[in-house]
Amino acid sequence: MPEIPGILVTVAVITIAYFFGPPILIYRTQRFRRNMNLLEFDPETIPTSRIIEVYFDDAIEEMEKIGFECLGEYALPDVVPNACAVVQLHRNVRTRESAMVSTVWGVADGIVQQRIQYVEFVCRFQNDKLRMIQTSSISRCSSFPDRRDEVNSRLPHVKSTIDLYHYHERLMQRHDPGTKRELRVDDEFHGDAMEFLRQVVLVECFDAQIETGYLQPCDVGWRPTIYGAIMMTWKELWPMKAVLTARLHARGRRLAVDLDNEFGPLPKW
């Protein structure tokens, strides 16, 4: 069967190209800008913005029921190449927590390819061992690894913002280090939501990935390392993406059951 070696060579070439072509492209071309644009959300500039407006209106109504106030809505048009995001920032002065409601979508040839929407609650602490507890409903794995001094919990099956916050409260009871809480949008940025997003949510996040080995500084801000390009790209390829996504959903359901067993059923609202 003289054709078998040729077939094997072809399969090997295709496999290598599939797994290493995208990381090489990402390593050579992807850049994250430090001087990224943040704009106040203008529905007229966003494709299919009515979907976002309805989602945000519902979020404000539910957030108000649990003591959060909306500080503004902001567009992030160029943080990541070929992707756009609009975020709604909230704070709870009484509990000293913040929250974000996000819509993120990919764009190819000017057409929206996919959209994800999620909510996240965050409490920060003046503590060297545990600096943040974050609970979100995001349904996709993060491009970057979690930090060791954070508790990041993902419950993608929880669609209700209020139910998600109740789970966040339970995780706070479980992990709260008992030190002073930081509401950085007020404490450091005096209510300037846009600058808080720029410095804390974006710049500090990218800077932290230098330590993980995913990113390195460059002339415009940050670029992937070879290791980071491989890890970030492989997470988006089959079969890894399917496996990681299934594991994320399974972990979220197990965590919810565990919290229900520990604290009882969620309160009615």
Each residue's pLDDT tens digit, 18-53: 999 999 999 999 999 999 889 998 887 776 678 889
- Pick from 62, 144, 55: nearest CA to 105: 55
Domain that holds residue 151: 25-263
Query: Tell me, what's the pLDDT at 206?
Result: 96
pLDDT of amino acid 2: 59
The reported pLDDT for the residue numbered 52 is: 87
Cα–Cα distance, 132 to 69 (Å, whole number): 20
Among the listed residues 137, 248, 249, 125, the one whose alpha carbon sits nearest the alpha carbon of residue 175:
125
Domain membership flag for residue 137 = yes
* Structural domain contains residue 20: no
- pLDDT of 226 reads 98
Count: domains in the chain: 1
Q: What is the pLDDT of residue 6?
A: 75
The mean of the pLDDT values for the chain is: 93
Query: Residue 268: inside a domain, yes or no?
Result: no
> Own/partner pairs for 51-59, CB < 8 Å, 24+ apart?
51/103, 51/115, 52/86, 52/103, 55/101, 55/103, 55/117, 56/86, 56/88, 56/101, 56/103, 59/88, 59/101, 59/119, 59/161
Partners of 140 in the beta sheet? none
- What pLDDT is attached to residue 105? 84
Structure tokens at 72: 């503004």
Q: Is residue 191 part of a domain?
A: yes
pTM equals: 0.93
Per the CB < 8 A criterion, the answer to whether 197 and 89 are in contact is yes
Q: What is the pLDDT of residues 225-253, one digit of tens each?
A: 999 999 999 999 999 999 999 999 999 99
pLDDT for 110 equals 62
Query: Which positions of the chain have pLDDT values less than 50?
Result: none
Per-residue pLDDT, 124? 98
pLDDT at residue 204, rounded to an integer: 96
| Cα angle: 132, vertex 64, 254; to 5 degrees | 50
